[in-house]
Each structure stands twice: as structure tokens, then as C-alpha cells.
Structure 1
Amino acid sequence: MTALSGIRVIEIGTLIAAPFAARIMAEFGAEVIKIETLGQGDPLRKWRKLHEGTSLWWYLQSRNKKSLALNLKSPEGIAIVKQLAKSADVLIENLRPGALEKLGIGWDVLHALNPKLTLVRISGYGQSGPYRDRPGFGAIGEAMGGIRYTTGTPGIPPARVGVSLGDSLASMHAVIGALMSLLRVKTGQGEGQVVDVSLAESVFNVMESLVPEYDMLGHVRERSGGSLPGIAPSNTYPTADGAYVVIAGNSDPIFKRLMAAIGRSDLGEDPAFAHNDGRAIQCDLLDEAISQWSSRHPIDFVLDTLEKAEVPAGRIYSVADIVADPHYLARGMILDADLPGGASVKMPGIVPKMSDTPGNVNWQGPSLGQHTRAVLGELGLSEETIQRLKDGGVVQ
């Protein structure tokens, strides 16, 4: 048994936000039927680095999913979606607001077909409000949600994180919402509902004390490079061999141990630095003291010293560091996967780790329409009917 055994999820989404949410559910046992357009399928199939014409990201993002290639512009295609919805627990989509309604499968229709169905809707700005009809990608959500403004080095334009953070945060909020709705249904507390997830709001939700600090104090959090404003010491520091180490010495007892480890017990015992509010006022002084010490030693010495002092510290990993790290390997976070044609490739493992119902990888992202016949057969369609739909451009 897996955590989501017996849960059926329909995915009508492309690229990142809805597909990542559905992938998480598929990894923990949900049956995920991904509906793709005929001919080309999800554009993610051609994004970033390709292997024999197919994106390596696709194989990761769509693992454990079934691909149903369907023409949603045809009445028969919509009829198939409706039939699937009758037995589904969750439908996840990231189309523009109103798109499902134009197809004839809006919330009113779906809820009437299956009152227990949860509809998860992911969009740039949500299903309501003055911006609902604007196109929105994850990058725009990061900008509007506040994280772009605070990311980077002071004095230069804001930077972006090197991954699609806005989409991924929306995906995780979508899964949380779906599971809360499922719990309500499965415990008999009520019917299915709409889970409305905004990319911008998902980013905004992780912005900590941004709003109350502005409202009460007029403080606007700015870009701060590698430091964590108002929490000290916590920064990125140079080492003698040209590397960088992240050191988080920001709790009171850890700060004392850090100062002792770098030979600055005078600072560690100074009453002015006993608590974070005092340290934050003079964070530059503390950062300079730590940098002077770290820059005199190679990174391995720095890390070994701080580990013995029980001070949180770590080197900044590249992907090469990650795939070679013994802890990642011991935790099952680097898996070997087989691709079509026999090639083997490393893939990320599954998060979170669950003791009794762990997730697993059954297969990598499928070929376009790989499961069309199987899914339609389970709906009771005969081989003759499936072939007729295929010949008529309804399925692939």
C-alpha cells in the first residue's frame, strides 16, 4: 500500500505547476491520468536538455503518470473527460481562468457529475480579482509575490533563483489543498470543493514577516546578498581555497560556540551580543570577524571545525557535489532510471520519506498517448470504438 492508493487524479495541465503537483501525488500511489493534446503533447517534452528528442525533465516530471492523448476541442473528447471525472477524486488544471468553462467542463458541470470531486485550479493570479484574466507564469508570480525584490545583491537589478520557484511553490500549495479537501470528503465531512491556487500568492505565502514589518515600522526588506537580514550571524563566507561556506550561527547558544570556535570568545561573551536583536544591529562587525577566520583556512578545515563545535555550516553544492554526496545516496535521493532505448540516467529521489507508505517510482514519463487504449478500455469502450475515435482525430 502507498499513501494515495485508490485515489484517481486527472491532470489537465502543461509545463510545471499542475504537472509537478500531479507528479507528487503519483509518486505516492495515486493513479494520475495526464490528458495531453494530440500530436505534440505537453510542451515540457521539448524543454531544456533533450535525450533522443525528449526532455530529460519530462521523464522526471511525468513519472508514474498515464498519458491519454485527447482532442479537447471535440465533443467526444469532452465526453471522455466527463466520464473520467465521474470516477476521479481530484482534477488538477493550470489553464487560464475560464478555459474549463469554455470547454464545457467548468466547476458546476464537474460537481454535478461527481459531488466528491476536488477541482484544483492553478493560475497566475487566482480565479477572482481584477488580474484573474492576465497571463501568469512562475517568473511573474515570483516578481509580484515579493521574492524577486528581495533576491540578489544590493545596488544591482534583482536576481532570480535558478529554478522555477514560483511554479513549484504553487504545486506544493496545490497538493496541500487537494489533500485537505480529500480528507474532508473521505471522512464524510462534506463534498468536494474548488482549491484556488495563485502563483503570486504561493510565493507571497513564504515571505515571512514582510507585511507586518512594513505596516508597523515602514520597513521595506531589500536585497541583502548572502545574508539573512535581521538574523545574525547568518551569511556566506569565503575560505582560503576559493570556496564559500554558509554559516548559520544565529541562535544564542550556537553563536557562543561559533565565536569560541573562531577564537573570538570576547564577542561570544559580550552582553551586547547575547541575543539576536543586539547581534543584528552589529551584523557587519560579526560578519567581518567570521570572514577573517574563514578566509585563513581551507573549506574542509572550516567545516570540520564547525561540525565539532556543533555549528550549522555547509559548502554550497553544485549538482556534481549532490550526486556524489554519501548522505544523498544513503537517503535514496539519487535514483537510477532506465530510459527508452536502454539508456540509464540518474534522477532525484522522492520527498518526503514515509515510514509505512513510502513513495516509489514505477516508470518514467510515458510516450505521448502511451496509455490511451488502456484508459479508454477501463471506461468500457470497445476496441472498435477506440479505433474509430483514433481515426476521427479524437484520441491518439
Structure 2
Amino acid sequence: MNVETPRHSATGPLRGIRVLEMGQLIAGPFCGQLLGDLGAEVIKVEDPKNGDPMRQWGQATVKGSSLWWSVLARNKKSVTLNLRTVEGQTAARTLAESADIVVENFRPGSLEKRGLSHEELSRSNPGLIMLRVSGFGQSGPYAKQAGYGSIGEAMGGLRYVVGDPSTPPSRVGVSIGDSLAALFGTIGVLAALQERHTSGLGQVVDSAIYESVLGMMESLVPEWTEEGIQKERSGSTLPKIAPSNVYPTADGQWLIIAANQDTVFRRLAAAMGNPQLADDPEYATHIARGKRQAELDELVAEFSLQFRADDLIDLLNEHSVPVGKIFRVEDMLNDPQYKARRSVVEVDSDDYGTVTMQNAFPRLSRTDTAVRWVGPELGQDTEEVLFQVGYDQNALAELRDKGVIR
């Protein structure tokens, strides 16, 4: 890929769908990234002075631009609009008239103050779908409180169960709460697009971070309400799921071995040279193994320490036992599965040079997803996009003079 890549998707399943992204940071923009990967035209609205703060976030930058930004803003066009001005709000309403979807993650009430609510925008565009991502949702007593992803992760139950039982609650090493809200929001948007075929009408998709986290918490709630069981931190294991843990090898590596299913445990026992273990009443069933989780983990660890990691992987693969390394980026770049599926791609750009990043997922057999370009320069598409919706050169010059656009 290179900077000459067409600015519209040729194959994506959402080609022809226009998205107006008015959010910033992660929760809204990650949804925009997903929709762009699927082929939608994503027009990202940014403040003309500094743009989205994500342009500076992350641990590494190239020419002052964050590498995180190169991923999160890929496949998007950047339009600058000062939404605090009447002229900026007017331009946003004009853009929304031709949009299928608006994505925003401001604090609830912010768009209403600017005359950009779904009720307002849908008067001239009845089919408009608006995704509203927020910490606590658009209703309820917490709705207008500041709600970052970390707060949603805590309220949704995730933070309490992450980490070792000997330490305070931990966090996952990525912004998982924001990303989950974007994922659930994307599902809602796609469902609303499908429903629009029947009704001809758009609607609001309300994605709360804490609810999106809660939606991933499996049987956390009924285990408490029905049996009084509170899920606790359990480190690298899941309680009563055994053997399924990280195990040491002779060359100082750690492997994931997951053999908690009865048939798989039988295959592991054979690989361990101890097939009778699978018939021992103390280990023969899922429930029995769960009761003896710690001692079973010790047995598997004693076995795994006899092998170098690669040799143990080969042995367990021969016995069809799920096993895998704990990957770092360098492992991903050298792995044959990653290479065969192009899970990581190189994307060319003027600003960054070549950027290596994760590909677009999932894969579709006929209308595939793609990374077409990296995160754009601030405002690089402003004139092109506004010209398409009726602004001539004189109007654009006036907006520039007033600081509405960059």
C-alpha cells in the first residue's frame, strides 16, 4: 500500500456508507476505525487548533505524530471544524445531511448544546443513525458524570477480577473498556443499518462503557444472585478450570497449556507418558480436576520443565493438545501463522514512512476489509469534503479567516 491508495474502498462491505465521526480519544474513534476498515467513508471532525489528543498519545511518535494515531485514525479523512462556533455547527449539520452514521463520545448533553442532537439532525436526514458512546449511557443518575474507560472497567466488574489475589485490583494492559464500548457500539450501528432497510428510519445507538464491560462478564451476576459466589482475582488461572495455566519450560519460557476438557486431558496425559492419569478418579472428570487444580498444575509444571519450549510445543501438537507461546511483537512478526494470513501489514505514508500495524479484521471472503492509509494529517481533507457539500472557495476562505477550519 502507498499514499496513492484510493480514498474510497473498492471491496469493503460498507463501501458507500458515510460516517461522520465527531468523537475523540478512543471509545468513539475506535468504532470509526472499525467502520473504516469495513469500507465506510469516515470523515473525522477535529478541532482546528490541536486536533484529537490521540495525535500525541502513546509511547512513540514519528515527526510529532503518535504511532497509536496511525492505527486508530487509519482509513479516515480529517476535517477541521470548530464546533464551538455557529459556523462550525452549521457545517457539521450540513455534513450530517449526507451521512448515514454519526459517531460521538462527548459527555451526554454536549451535542444538544450545539444543536447537533439526533433529534435535530434527523429532521433533514430521517435515516441518520447516531452512535453515542459514553461512560454511563445517555440516561440514569450518572449519565452526565465524566466516565473514562477505567471507571467503566471498574463499575462493570472487570477491574475487581483482574490480577493476582495477593495484589490490589489490576488493569488489562490496553484500554479495554473504551474498546469494548466501541465494539458493542459497532454491532449496534450495523444492526441499525439493517433495520433501516425495513423502516427507512435511523435511530440512536446508546453504548455505555460500564455496560459493555458488564456484557463480557460471563456468569458473574447469576453466580452471586443465585449461589452467593463472588468471583475473585485468580492470577493466571480460572477457578476450577484445570489444567489451564502458564507452565515453565527448561529454556526459561512460559507456555499456555489448556487441557481442561476431558478428552483433551486424556491426550495430555498420554503426552506426559502417564495415560493412566486420565482414568484416576481424582483427575478423570472436569469437576474432579477443578477440585485439585493446584496439585494438577504442579504435575503439569514438573512435566513441562523437562522440555525446551519449541520441543514441548511439537510434542503437544502431535497429541492435539492446545499449547502456545505468550507472544511479544517480535514473535508475531516472525510467526508463520501471522505471515500466512497477513495478520500484520506494512502501510506507506509521507509522514511516517512505512508503518507496520495489525491488519483489518475480521476477514470476509468476497468483500474483504483493508487498511488503505494511516491516520491523516490534521485537516488534510477539509476543503475537499466541504466543497462536496456545497462550500465554494469564498466560503472556505471565510471559515479559515474566522478560525472555524484550519
- Cα distance in 2, alignment partners of residues 395 and 121 from structure 1: 24
What does residue 268 of structure 1 align with? 278
Query: Which piece of structure 1 moves more, 294-303 or 9-18?
Result: 294-303
What does residue 96 of structure 1 align with? 107
Q: 1:366, CA displacement in angstroms?
A: 0.7
Gaps of 5+ in 2: 1-10
Partner amino acid, structure 1, of 2:78: S
Secondary structure (helix, strand or coil) at the match of 1:2 reads coil
What does residue 250 of structure 2 align with? 240
| Mapped pair 1:280 → 2:290 | yes
- Cα distance in 1, alignment partners of residues 186 and 316 from structure 2: 37
- Report if the CA contact (8 A) 1:120-1:178 is conserved: yes
RMSD across aligned C-alpha pairs, in angstroms?
Answer: 1.2
- Report if the CA contact (8 A) 1:64-1:361 is conserved: yes
Q: 1:270, CA displacement in angstroms?
A: 2.1
What does residue 231 of structure 1 align with? 241
Query: Which piece of structure 1 moves more, 276-285 or 361-370?
Result: 276-285
Secondary structure (helix, strand or coil) at the match of 1:273 reads coil
- Cα distance in 1, alignment partners of residues 271 and 286 from structure 2: 19
Partner amino acid, structure 2, of 1:86: E
Residue among 37, 44, 49 paired with 1:39: 49
Residue among 384, 388, 391 paired with 1:378: 388
- Report if the CA contact (8 A) 1:82-1:113 is conserved: no
What does residue 199 of structure 2 align with? 189
- Cα distance in 1, alignment partners of residues 255 and 362 from structure 2: 26
- Cα distance in 2, alignment partners of residues 337 and 107 from structure 1: 36
Secondary structure (helix, strand or coil) at the match of 1:188 reads helix
- Cα distance in 2, alignment partners of residues 341 and 24 from structure 1: 23
Residue among 12, 16, 19 paired with 1:9: 19
Query: Which piece of structure 1 moves more, 259-268 or 35-44?
Result: 259-268
Higher RCO (CA < 8 A, seq sep 6+): 2
What does residue 365 of structure 1 align with? 375
Deviations 1:208-260 (A, max 9, x none): 11111111111111111111223222111111111111111011110110111
Residue among 332, 335, 344 paired with 2:342: 332
Report the TM-score when normalising by structure 1: 0.97
Q: 1:100, CA displacement in angstroms?
A: 0.6
Q: 1:273, CA displacement in angstroms?
A: 3.2
- Cα distance in 2, alignment partners of residues 176 and 161 from structure 1: 23
Partner amino acid, structure 2, of 1:161: V
Partner amino acid, structure 2, of 1:110: L
| Mapped pair 1:356 → 2:366 | yes
Deviations 1:334-386 (A, max 9, x none): 11122324722211111101100111122111111100000011001111111
- Report if the CA contact (8 A) 1:256-1:265 is conserved: yes
What does residue 149 of structure 2 align with? 138
Runs of 4 or more above 4 Å deviation: none
Q: 1:183, CA displacement in angstroms?
A: 0.5
- Report if the CA contact (8 A) 2:277-2:284 is conserved: no
What does residue 71 of structure 1 align with? 82
- Report if the CA contact (8 A) 2:255-2:325 is conserved: yes
Aligned residues: 395
- Cα distance in 1, alignment partners of residues 194 and 166 from structure 2: 48
Report the TM-score when normalising by structure 2: 0.95
1:198–1:341 Cα change, 3 Å = closer
Q: 1:190, CA displacement in angstroms?
A: 4.9
Alignment of 1:157-306 (within 5 A): 157-185=168-196, 187-306=197-316
Secondary structure (helix, strand or coil) at the match of 2:160 reads coil
What does residue 316 of structure 1 align with? 326
Deviations 1:74-128 (A, max 9, x none): 1111111111111111100000011111111112112222111111000011111
Deviations 1:190-214 (A, max 9, x none): 5211111011111111111111111
Partner amino acid, structure 1, of 2:329: V
| Mapped pair 1:345 → 2:324 | no
| Mapped pair 1:119 → 2:165 | no
What does residue 167 of structure 2 align with? 156
